[in-house]
Amino acid sequence: MDKFLNKYRIQSTRLQNWDYGWNADYFVTICTQSRQYFFGNIVNGRMILSEIGKIANKYWINIPEHFPFAKLDVHVVMPNHIHGIITIDKPNDGRNGTKNEKRTTTQNRNVGGIVETQYFASLPQSPQSQNLKNKFGPQSQNLASIIRGYKTGVTIYARINNINFGWQSRYHDHIIRNKTEYQRIRNYIINNPKNWDNDKFYH
């Protein structure tokens, strides 16, 4: 990870000629500002979430409620970043005139620990947030809009509740090519807390 203007940044890994609204399985990593430990700490191989860490976790789970074309497999909230697999699954993503096949790699979503599973959950309400019509911000049917909306929701909560918090401006994504790669990435996410000392984001 490089620095730009003394701030950590993730180099763009966007694949040219690829439409990030197309159906695919995406491995996503989002970092906190300057990789600060906003989300909590690892204790004995388990992630102990801070208040904003709990919100980051809840809002991630809530993504499909705001973006129905998005499906979630495993994710994990770490002290200074989030890893997760997001599947874009539309009846027709525009690449042909017929319905596209459903993604089939996301099957078993029942895992323990802080790695969560997909289910529908409501965003916590507060008197200040009652007037926010769309707490996940503007929507469009691609990966960037999902991440932008998610980050906006967490940021709004932090501001309303006077929590010191910030995101790194960019995020990292990787298009998962096959089931072998999918399982390897999935295992990496699940085991991330207990392997924290060897993680590249640990410092």
Give the C-alpha separation, 98 to 78, whole Å. Answer: 40
In a domain, residue 200? The reply is no
In a domain, residue 68? The reply is yes
Q: CATH number of the domain at 74, please.
A: 3.30.70.1290
Place of tokens 């979430």: 49
Place of tokens 């409620």: 65
Encoded amino acid at 177, one letter:
R
Question: Where would I find the H helices in the chain?
Answer: 51-61, 63-66, 143-160, 179-191
In a domain, residue 105? The reply is yes
**pTM of the model as a whole:** 0.75
Say if residues 29 and 83 touch (Cβ distance below 8 Å): yes
User: Domain range for residue 183?
Assistant: 10-192
In a domain, residue 2? The reply is no
Counting the structural domains of the chain, the total is 1
Query: Looking at residue 100, what is its pLDDT?
Result: 52
Q: What is the mean pLDDT, run by run of 10 residues, along the chain of 203 residues?
A: 40 64 94 96 94 98 94 96 95 65 42 32 41 49 93 96 95 93 96 86 63
In a domain, residue 3? The reply is no
